[in-house]
Amino acid sequence: MKHLNWSLQNLLFIKNSEVGYLEKYETYETRCCYYNSVENFLKEDKESWFKSMCNSFNSLYHLSLEEAQKRAWIDCFNVLQNELPFVNNKYPGLQIIFEYALPYESGRRPDVILLSKEYVIVLEFKQYADVLQADVDQVKSYVRDLREYHSESRNKKVVPVLLLTGTEEKQQQRYPGIILCSKNGIDELCSKIFLEQITPTDAKKWIDSKYEPLPTIVEAARTFMKHAPLPNIRKVNSTVIPQAIECLKEITKDAKENKKHILALVTGVPGAGKTYLGLQYVYDICESNEHVDSIYLSGNRSLIELLQSTLKSKTFVKNVHSIIKEYTSKIMNSFEHNIIVFDEGQRAWDMNQMKKKREIEKSEADIMIEICDKKLEWCVLLILVGEGQEIYNGENSGLEQWNTAVKKAKNNWEIVCPDKLEKEFSLAVKKYPELDLNISLRTHTAGEVSKFINHFIAGNMEQASLKAIDIINNGFNMYYTRNLEIAKNYCHKRYAGHIDKRYGLLASSKNKELKNYGLRSEFELDIVTWFNGEIGDKNFSNSLELVISEFNCQGLEVDMPIIVWGKDLRWYNSTWYPEGKTDIDKVYRLNSYRVLLTRGRDGFIVFIPPIAEMDIIEKLFKDIGVKELKKTLN
């Protein structure tokens, strides 16, 4: 762990990271460009107000102030100066906030907040008359996150309003989840929302509120680099993750004091936070135990490369296959990691794959247990067990190989696991229900997305349809389209200006039609550039040119994936027909699409190629409640 600490202590600032934004927020007094009472705002001179906005923006953000943004502010000022006098006369004491930056959110900023003790009205201004799905989803996501993570908003009614300044029609319209308003309709809008007199509130207190989102894996790693504990995340604290970590700490203490070898297993659905838990566990243990060293292992090359790049260290995070190769080649001098986390350990290579790759008649599980037996006086080997994610050859032996390895071990290993894994082991186990992470954290839908995808991949479309209703209502956006440009425009529009937001093209590795749509894939992909590149780089995910496969994205996530459906998974007579020569090949193909469909934090878009044989896929998504993504909604 000392190598990790070196990385942590020597990093001063991370370019384009959310930690960097946090430092900026700590330097300045507010997280917005302007706030005041509506009454005082109405007394503002346009020129001085605009100058104040520009100065605040330049102080707060690492972003260039574009001319389009300046024009939008002037348009917004003019509209509000015209409409708010009527509102202020009826509802004195209302507060107004411009460009409030959601903490830890890379500069995501609702345009205007109207605030009282009872209400938070989120006004998102657009200088045209068209209703775009990206704009609707943008304002809905602001409201969702304020309700979910913003402490001072939890007892208030949070109202999403999309305000189109390109139209003067006064009548408000209700689209699913938002109110649509024209530039002349703000007075009438407030009269409908405020059913009684409002109570003034402290805008500064609201601006400085605690805000507790879940970090992505990369963001968590960046926080480790700062040698700082991760934020006390409310959504994590509402799950079993804190209990699981405390349980693992007690297990570690027992192993160290009593010189035990313990095999611990944690299970969880996609997005449950297994990788996050593994990183947090080794961090907490090594912070509290000076003489304990740790290592984080995975067979997922993309995850390893991305974490190594983020941590600026190849010591703490390693590819398990390289550790195995070093040991079996008899060049491993020492192995002093008492805490070993093996991510997706059920996917360790079985004996057949090891014989094929290394000419050794042992599984990776056999060898990891052997290393611990020979090299360590005590240890905790933590296996993070995913569900239904096997996509490589030799990964389908599951936990049986760990059962076999422990039975052959030199030491008497103790096994601890959640109740549902007891049947996987012939030896006695200690059961801990808190080691089953059964709630998804990747999205805002408490695990329902994972259940929806499982039903979908299993062909249980009636059950999938029932899940889809709640998922969409809870703010997870699921779309299909036959027009790739509509999908691309949606992503560019929705995440414009949010430099740490990631969207990108995903496809099955067996999809052979990508070139037909001007898309490309690369066998030797630079995954670090794809995830952490910059605008203008054609290999950066947000450029929407380079497609990655299930092998590249497994264990990672983007905010909005565009999934290119291929001919390798067909639907006919209420049954999936995956491509593959053998039954196991077909299982891998189904799992590949399961992986692709569970990568999104905000949702997903499925691009269904506009050819006749794909019409049945469009009908399938439509029938289960996935909405068609359209260019405009009006």
- The pLDDT of residue 157 is 96
Helices (H), 168-240: 186-193, 203-207, 217-225, 234-237
Beta carbons of 232 and 386 less than 8 angstroms apart? no
CA atoms within 13 A on the CB side of 72: 18
Query: What's the count of helices (H) and strands (E) in the chain, helices before strands?
Result: 24, 24
Instruction: Find the mean pLDDT for residues 431-437.
Output: 92
CA atoms within 13 A on the CB side of 580: 20
Closest CA to 365 of 416, 424, 407: 407
**593 has pLDDT over 60:** yes
Burial of 538 (0-12, 13-18, 19+ CB in 10 A): exposed
In this structure, is the dihedral angle defined by the CA atoms of residues 622, 627, 630 and 634, taken in order, positive or negative? positive
Residue 4 identity: L
In this structure, is the dihedral angle defined by the CA atoms of residues 333, 322, 279 and 247, taken in order, positive or negative? negative
Residue 256 identity: K
Beta carbons of 139 and 475 less than 8 angstroms apart? no
Pairing of strands 178-182, 157-164: parallel
Residue 51: alpha-carbon gap to chain centroid? 36
| Band (223; pLDDT cuts 50, 70, 90) | low
Tell me the per-residue pLDDT of 560-586, one tens digit each, with 9 for 90 and over.
999 999 999 999 999 999 999 999 999
Domains in the chain, CATH or no CATH each: 31-207 (no CATH), 217-437 (3.40.50), 448-628 (3.40.50)
DSSP state of 215: P
pTM confidence score = 0.77
- The pLDDT of residue 204 is 95
Instruction: List CB contacts of 619: < 8 A, sequence separation 6 or more.
Output: none
- The pLDDT of residue 529 is 93
Cβ neighbours, 10 Å, residue 89: 10
Name, of 153-157, 171-175, 310-314, the range with top average pLDDT: 153-157
Percent of the chain with pLDDT over 90: 60
Helices (H), 428-526: 448-458, 461-473, 484-494
Q: Backbone phi, then psi, for 519, in 5-degree steps?
A: -105, 155
Percentage helix, strand, coil, to 5, in the chain?
A: 45, 20, 40
Tell me the per-residue pLDDT of 332-357, one tens digit each, with 9 for 90 and over.
878 989 999 999 888 788 898 898 88
Spatial separation of the C-alpha atoms in residues 214 and 204, rounded to whole Å: 24
Tell me the per-residue pLDDT of 392-416, one tens digit each, with 9 for 90 and over.
444 345 789 999 999 999 999 999 9
Spatial separation of the C-alpha atoms in residues 110 and 18, rounded to whole Å: 18
Beta carbons of 126 and 482 less than 8 angstroms apart? no
Spatial separation of the C-alpha atoms in residues 574 and 456, rounded to whole Å: 11
Residue 64 structure tokens: 């260039």
Average pLDDT, the chain: 86
Spatial separation of the C-alpha atoms in residues 604 and 596, rounded to whole Å: 9
Beta carbons of 519 and 576 less than 8 angstroms apart? no
Q: Backbone phi, then psi, for 329, in 5-degree steps?
A: -85, 0
Tell me the per-residue pLDDT of 93-137, one tens digit each, with 9 for 90 and over.
999 999 998 876 767 899 999 999 999 999 999 999 999 999 999
Residue 185: alpha-carbon gap to chain centroid? 36
- The pLDDT of residue 374 is 94
Residue 127 structure tokens: 């200088």
